[in-house]
């Protein structure tokens, strides 16, 4: 993979090496560095840096299979767990098709997020259920996304991007020394504005375009108020 780095970048960086790995059957985002301390902060499970993958299957998962995967599967290293598993959205599949050559046939794409990084972990988890993975694309490491970087393309991280990947998350009171903060580190986008200014419509459209989940808090508050009134709860 180092042969893909332009010579001028290699000379400027000195000795480069991959941060983690992708097996020969997988593709997607791979980081290179000359900083061992930084690499350790990205790789070591105690820092809780998430990795998100697009997973291509030849058939959809059953509810039972999805539940088993999210509950965890025993592997030789221990219990393999996913932070999240969901079907990929239409925009996510189309965006991925613009980056990597699409696979022919009727296939089913999912998004899986994990903090562990064991050897061929996702493939082994799915294989344990008799569901072989057709393609596996790493689309995110921590706060850094693959975006429109195509196979074989290389770019240099900005200092801000590199710093955000290894930012130390503050522990809630009472948790100090008990391990990494389990709160999600994914990017959250919030939109606010006066009533009827279009924030709900813009938020829903932005979420669809980015492949994010959308939560309309205005509807949430109205639903809670209706539920309180319906059950005779004093809304004050």
Query: Catalytic residue numbers?
Result: 23
Q: How many residues does the chain have?
A: 236
Report, in this order, helix, strand and coil percent for the chain, each rounded to 5. 35, 20, 50
- Phi and psi, residue 79, nearest 5°: -85, 115
Count how many Cα atoms sit within 13 Å of the Cα of residue 167 in the half-sphere of its side chain: 14
Instruction: Round to whole Å and give the CA distance between 176 and 37.
Output: 22
What is the spatial distance between Cα 99 and Cα 147, in angstroms, rounded to a whole number? 8
- What does the DSSP 8-state code read for residue 229? H
Burial class (CB in 10 A: 0-12, 13-18, 19+), 121: buried
Instruction: Output b/e per residue, 81-114; b: 16+ Cβ within 10 A.
Output: ebbebeebbeebbebbeebbeeeeeeeebbbbbb
Q: Is 174 left (phi over 0), alpha (psi -120 to 50) or beta?
A: left
Decide: 167 and 42 in contact? Cβ < 8 Å: no
């Amino acid at each position: 993979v180092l042969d893909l780095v332009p010579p001028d970048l290699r000379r400027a960086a000195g000795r480069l090496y991959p941060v983690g790995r992708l097996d020969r059957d997988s593709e997607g985002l791979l980081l290179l560095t000359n900083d061992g301390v930084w690499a350790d902060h990205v790789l070591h499970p105690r820092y809780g840096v998430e990795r998100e993958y697009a997973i291509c299957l030849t058939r959809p998962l059953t509810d039972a299979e999805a539940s088993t995967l999210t509950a965890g599967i025993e592997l030789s290293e221990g219990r393999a767990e996913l932070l999240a598993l969901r079907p990929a959205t239409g925009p996510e599949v189309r965006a991925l098709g613009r980056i990597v050559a699409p696979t022919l046939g009727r296939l089913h794409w999912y998004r899986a997020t994990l903090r562990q990084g064991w050897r061929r972990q996702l493939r082994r988890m799915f294989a344990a259920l008799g569901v072989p993975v057709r393609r596996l694309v790493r689309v995110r490491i921590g706060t850094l996304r693959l975006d429109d970087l195509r196979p074989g393309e290389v770019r240099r991280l900005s200092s801000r991007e590199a710093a955000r990947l290894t930012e130390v998350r503050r522990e809630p009171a009472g948790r100090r020394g008990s391990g990494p903060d389990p709160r999600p580190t994914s990017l959250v986008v919030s939109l606010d504005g006066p009533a009827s200014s279009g924030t709900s419509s813009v938020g829903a459209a932005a979420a669809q375009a980015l492949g994010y989940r959308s939560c309309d808090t205005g509807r949430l508050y109205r639903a809670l108020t209706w539920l309180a009134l319906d059950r005779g709860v004093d809304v004050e």
